[in-house]
Structure 1
Amino acid sequence: MARRARDVYTEWRGGTCRVKWWTGEYHDDGRKRFESKGGFLDEDEAYNHGLDKMAEIRAGDHVSNRDGQTRMSDWLDDWLEAMDHAHLTERGYRSAIENHIRPYFKKRNTAVSDIDVLAYRAFRKHVNNVLGPGSAKNVMMVLGMVLDDAVPRLLKTSPVERSRRRGKFKKKPKERKKDVTPEAIEQLAVNARAYFGLSGYAFMWTMAMTGMRPAELYGLTREYCYPNWPASDPRPDPEEEDRYAEDRERYGKGPGLMPAIRVERQVQYEESELRFFPPKYESYRSLVIPAFLGGLLEELLASHDSRWVFPAIQGGSLGAVNFDYKYWRPIADGAEERVSRQARWNRAAMPEVPSFKGRRLYLIRHGHKSWLDEDGHSKFAVESRMGHEVPGVEGTYSSVTVPMEQSIMKTLQERWDGLQERLGRQNG
């Protein structure tokens, strides 16, 4: 073995030359840990390869032979263990990995370092063949994060191909929405009442008048709903005592107080069990409601003893049923009259609601924002009510004031009053 430079060695074995270089690491017994590569026919070429490896080590972008042979399946285990995301996000990432990414690379016994641009394209082609465009895009996004995080320890550079816009601009297709009218919400509410009683009627109007996300409504319990809240607030966080005190001064039932709902959690399934989680993006918020909705919620809570504000047909949480399929589709699309031997299953015919037929429940939430925008409320108040973060200076210095909330209550009540007047004229 010939020493050509400090910590770089070359030696001939048979008819080929091998180079060894120090990795910068030590064995447990204190000896330096070396890596090597053989097969060179020219000693200078071998020596320069060793120098290049030493330069990579000094620059911090060297992938050791040992790390480079890490199996993709093992790296996926490490990546999943280090995840720190919201429940639904983590569940989506795990689904993409366990159903598509891991089976593909485990079957091929692929090392992380073997995934170059061609291997990346081959996987993309496979996914596009077995999944729809939206699902395939999501799986490729997860793989992209996994491979990006493998740099620089397992990969020198990421093989992920970023989309580059070239040529003529092409606008992305956008979901076509129809204006959400109070009449449409009323018909949805009437259908929902035919389907699952007063709970259904109140559910639709609460979503329309608060913009709450479906899972937040499914998980709404008595202690966070008017007229009980904020007097009934469990007050679980000692560091929030100031907010609890302010809530009692601002919201509730009584002279000078504004009726409101507290968005404190949502329900989602985890390990086959329905559990509470923070609202999406941890968007905790207090939502004032118009007077008519306060009266409706008070009537609803007096009509049942469930912990859930909007109990399902059989009394549990709406989060425990396939609401979109079992409830929403017949409510929005219409359904024929149903007559059963058991009276509780009887149901009147429900007409379709044209502006929601075949469309998502979530569009009611979108409609709420449109109403607030039409009524000219401040952007900060609107975005805060929707549970969105407002960036920049506006988000830092603005706050939702009592006059802002009173104005929102007033315009929402006016929409209801206008609807009742129009319905009265029609019926008269």
Structure 2
Amino acid sequence: MPYVEVRGNSIRVKWWNGTYHLDAEGKATRRKQYESASGPAPGVPFEDEDEAYNYGLDREHEVRHGTHIPRASTKTLMRDYCWMWLDAQDLRDTSIGRYRSRLRSRIVPYWGDRAVGEITTWEYEAWRKELQAAAMRKEISQHYVDQLTSLFGMLMSDAVVKYKLRNESPVIVQRRRGRYRKKKRETKRPMQMQVLHHLASNAYQVWGFTGWTYIWTLAFTGMRPPGEMWGLRREFASPTWPASDPDLERREVALERYGPATMPALRIQYQSQYEGGRRTQVSPKYDSHRTLVVPPFLHEMHSLLLASHDSPWVFPALGGEQMGTQWGKTYWPYIRGGSPARSARRDYVRQEILPVQEMTGKRIYLLRHGHREWLEEDGHSRIAMETRMGHEVAGVEGLYSNLTPVMEKRIAETLQKRWEAFWGMGVWWAPPFPISLPDRPRQEPSAQVSQVPQGA
């Protein structure tokens, strides 16, 4: 039973916290450990002895029912808890890096001196409101705000469920409460072939035939950029796969269904990521290994591309090495935003590259979104669309459904029909047969032909 101590104007209650003192060898003795409190909350004293006694009874009730959180645990500082929590996570290096960045930049500086068990819902709501205000002032993005609040929610949820540092989370999600704020979404337009042709034409001037093929491949397969695109090796491209698959069992099964002479397809087996500062091949996102049928035109394009270089990567950089961080510096800005004309240098012609106005400020990832829109427009089944995009269909629908060869052939047919309808207009420029890549990488985008007409 708890007992109350009255000292002058101070009232304190003590109770057994369910543990025992340890001896020098670390073994529990019969001497009980007690906790005490001078009020129901920090800075709030008990009004009388009855309130203090009932408070002690409640704590002992928690001890008997296994819900009591030792006060020493609740005093763990956020600056310590955040990094212990991160060390305990079993995630890929890229995810760990993102979490570490968010903790270091916003969460630890704000919450570091606070004890985990003392953070209240009022304080969390005030912090979230500050972040929202910063997003309204364009100091940070709304997407970043969502990432921060999501990470903080995970920290608090684990503090309750896994680590027993507090009884409940201060992050309370209530649906349809308070003033309605429409969630801002990225402005998207339906993906048009004219825009893709402009991007592909620019990519040809920047990156040669590799760039031309890269844009059309992304738009007509829906692969995840950049990881799956940069991680595509030639043994998994449609001209060689599945006969070149290093996995014997997978190769034998795939040969019954796919192949250049039957149904051309490429295999998403890896994605390229940076781990520990080094570029490496890892499993696709969500382990979404999958086979993507490709329309005949894209299969022919890949055959020409692989014949033009001997790199192990389907889409190598200008020097033949694997594409990486240079994409955001010397490739995509010129493909999307254009470049003024420059003087000729050796056998490279520096022509003006016109900007793609429809893609101003946009991510190349939107080409993947556009591929999903095409599949819906062409009336493909949900299981066919989601499987192609690398998603799992949950529930009974996903359990009983399966991607069949008939579904795949229809996807290839509708994509080929879309391609032929565009070129049937007869007004679009196409590049000549590709030449080999240069012997060394270029720091600036360069054309690989003597003359490249503008195609948009």
Structure 1, 91-100 or 289-298: larger mean CA deviation: 91-100
Deviations 1:293-319 (A, max 9, x none): 111111111111111110112322223
What residue number does 1:37 align with?
37
Higher helix share: 1
Q: Which runs of 5+ in 1 are unaligned?
A: none
Letter in 1 for 2:120: D
> Structure 1 residue 413 and structure 2 residue 416: aligned?
yes
Contact 1:185–1:204 (Cα < 8 Å) also in 2: yes
Counterpart secondary structure, 2:19: strand
> Structure 1 residue 280 and structure 2 residue 285: aligned?
yes
Contact 2:228–2:270 (Cα < 8 Å) also in 1: yes
Counterpart secondary structure, 1:185: helix
> Structure 1 residue 228 and structure 2 residue 228: aligned?
no
Contact 1:120–1:159 (Cα < 8 Å) also in 2: yes
1:179 is displaced (CA, Å) by 2.5
What residue number does 1:311 align with?
316
Match of 2:14 among 20, 44, 55: 20
Change (3 A) 1:126 1:192: same
Change (3 A) 1:400 1:41: closer
What residue number does 1:57 align with?
63
Match of 1:71 among 59, 77, 96: 77
Q: TM-score, normalised by structure 2?
A: 0.82
What residue number does 1:141 align with?
150
Mapped partners of 2:354, 2:246: distance in 1 = 41
Deviations 1:124-165 (A, max 9, x none): 355454633332232122112212221262222222243542
Q: Which has the higher relative contact order, 1 or 2, with Cα contacts under 8 A spaced 6 or more apart?
A: 2
Q: Which runs of 5+ in 2 are unaligned?
A: 22-26, 39-44, 431-456
What residue number does 1:200 align with?
211
Counterpart secondary structure, 1:423: coil
Contact 1:219–1:319 (Cα < 8 Å) also in 2: no
Contact 1:383–1:390 (Cα < 8 Å) also in 2: yes
What residue number does 2:257 align with?
250
1:167 is displaced (CA, Å) by 6.8
Match of 1:268 among 246, 268, 273: 273
Change (3 A) 1:186 1:66: same
Mapped partners of 1:407, 1:41: distance in 2 = 76
What residue number does 1:103 align with?
109
Mapped partners of 1:294, 1:382: distance in 2 = 20
Change (3 A) 1:55 1:201: same
Change (3 A) 1:373 1:164: closer
What residue number does 1:211 align with?
222
Count of matched residue positions in the alignment of Structure 1 and Structure 2: 410
Mapped partners of 2:87, 2:191: distance in 1 = 44
1:71 is displaced (CA, Å) by 1.1
Letter in 1 for 2:17: T
Counterpart secondary structure, 2:267: strand
Counterpart secondary structure, 2:335: helix
Contact 2:93–2:276 (Cα < 8 Å) also in 1: no
Mapped partners of 1:15, 1:354: distance in 2 = 74
> Structure 1 residue 82 and structure 2 residue 81: aligned?
no
Note the 1:327-338 alignment, pairs <5 A: 327-338=331-342
Identity of aligned residues (%): 43
Change (3 A) 1:384 1:41: closer
Deviations 1:3-47 (A, max 9, x none): xx3xx3445567755433222223333233322235868554443
Mapped partners of 2:29, 2:154: distance in 1 = 36
1:93 is displaced (CA, Å) by 2.0
What residue number does 1:91 align with?
97
1:96 is displaced (CA, Å) by 0.9
Change (3 A) 1:133 1:364: closer
What residue number does 1:369 align with?
372
Counterpart secondary structure, 2:29: coil
> Structure 1 residue 353 and structure 2 residue 356: aligned?
yes
Change (3 A) 1:262 1:20: same
Q: TM-score, normalised by structure 1?
A: 0.87
Deviations 1:340-363 (A, max 9, x none): 54545x433222334333322112
What residue number does 2:160 align with?
151
Match of 1:185 among 187, 196, 204: 196
Change (3 A) 1:34 1:409: same
Mapped partners of 2:219, 2:172: distance in 1 = 42
Contact 2:236–2:266 (Cα < 8 Å) also in 1: yes
Change (3 A) 1:167 1:125: closer
1:196 is displaced (CA, Å) by 0.7
Letter in 2 for 1:273: R
RMSD over aligned Cα atoms: 2.7
